[in-house]
Structure 1
């Protein structure tokens, strides 16, 4: 199976084939509006603005899988993201990104790029690890998404080439995108 074989649902309820993104570099993130990492919407939008005309598509998949940090419905999520963060990149339907009910795209992404740990240099890495160990130890098992704003980078051929945890440096993400767009 390739990523282009997967269908997703837009935040307006329309089915969309990932094959529509053939030839593009994709940065796919699970998002939430009430998270300590929510300011990453701004950083994702900066990447979108800088590279969309060069072949990057940023796709946001809102999820409420982690401590009820995305309580809104799709319409309110879109309004909040546009109003508070200037988001113009595509937001898809809110859904699960881990577990039995995970969207097919996240099952695919995590099967291609497993969890390798949080970036030790980020000031919140220890806090995230401690919170998961203490309150959500089951999340640490396996390669599933560990927290909001986990990002996956897909090259122009549909290969999942990188996974960035919420603690990853946006400079590192930007450099990876630039290399794929060359």
Structure 2
């Protein structure tokens, strides 16, 4: 069975993990994925707790959450990749992958976010990422189900995640 162009493009993406090693999205095939641009010194930083709860509740059923640290919004992610990983683990018990710090907007935006923004624009057709903790929910076929603003609490995605996980 051949995947659609949209689907294969998502799985062709290969960002870097916090150690600079490839993190191929190919290994996410058949899973529901939540991608979030994160920051340690932001008013939304406590969302790490809800993200971890969502991850614990649904990881064994096929949910993957991937955090991409970003320092483009108010310089709220100033640390090194190692410091960011330690912060997430120590303060919020984060066990989902936190990848290498990236830019999400501009000419040097990470290809993952270029792809996500082009596939699913935000409110009023705005393509750019507006702030930290913007979220993209991808279904088991690699298709972006929806895009959520920073104001959307991860706990509010519970029902949608469950529905996507149960979809055959």
Check whether TM > 0.5: yes
Deviation at 1:44, TM superposition (A): 0.5
Cα displacement (A) at 1:66: 0.2
- 1:147 equivalent in alignment to 2:131: yes
> 1:24 Cα deviation (Å)?
0.6
Paired residue secondary structure (2:23) = strand
Does 1:43 find its partner at 2:55? no
Asked if structure 2 preserves the Cα contact closer than 8 Å seen for 1:30 and 1:148, the reply is yes
Q: After superposition, give the CA deviation of every residue in 1:74-101 in whole Å (9 maximum; x if it has no partner).
A: 0000000000011000010001011111
Find the aligned partners of 1:68 and 1:163 in 2 and give their Cα distance.
23
Whether contact under 8 Å (2:41, 2:76) holds in the other structure is: yes
**Aligned-partner Cα distance in 2 for 1:111–1:178:** 26
Runs of 4+ in structure 1 deviating by more than 4 angstroms, as ranges, are none
Residue 103 of structure 2 corresponds to residue 96 of structure 1 = yes
Question: Which of residues 107, 111, 114 is equivalent to 2:121?
Answer: 114
Question: Alignment length, in residue pairs?
Answer: 159
Q: TM-score, normalised by structure 1?
A: 0.84
Secondary structure of 1:143 counterpart? coil
* Match of residue 75, structure 1, among 56, 75, 82: 82
Q: Any conservation in 1 of the 2:32–2:161 contact (CA below 8 Å)?
A: yes
Task: Spell out, residue by residue over 1:23-48, the C-alpha distance to the aligned partner (whole angstroms, 9 max, x if none).
Answer: 11000000000000000011100000
Tell me the TM-score normalised to structure 2 length. Answer: 0.91
Query: 2:16 aligns to what?
Result: 9
Does the Cα contact within 8 Å between 1:27 and 1:58 map onto a contact in 2?
A: yes
RMSD: 1.3
2:156 is equivalent to residue 172 of structure 1: yes
Q: Could you say if the C-alpha distance between residues 68 and 109 of structure 1 is closer, same or farther in structure 2, counting changes exceeding 3 Å?
A: same
Q: Structure 2: which 5+ runs fail to align? A: 1-5
- Please give the alpha-carbon distance, in whole angstroms, between the structure 1 residues aligned to 2:47 and 2:105: 20
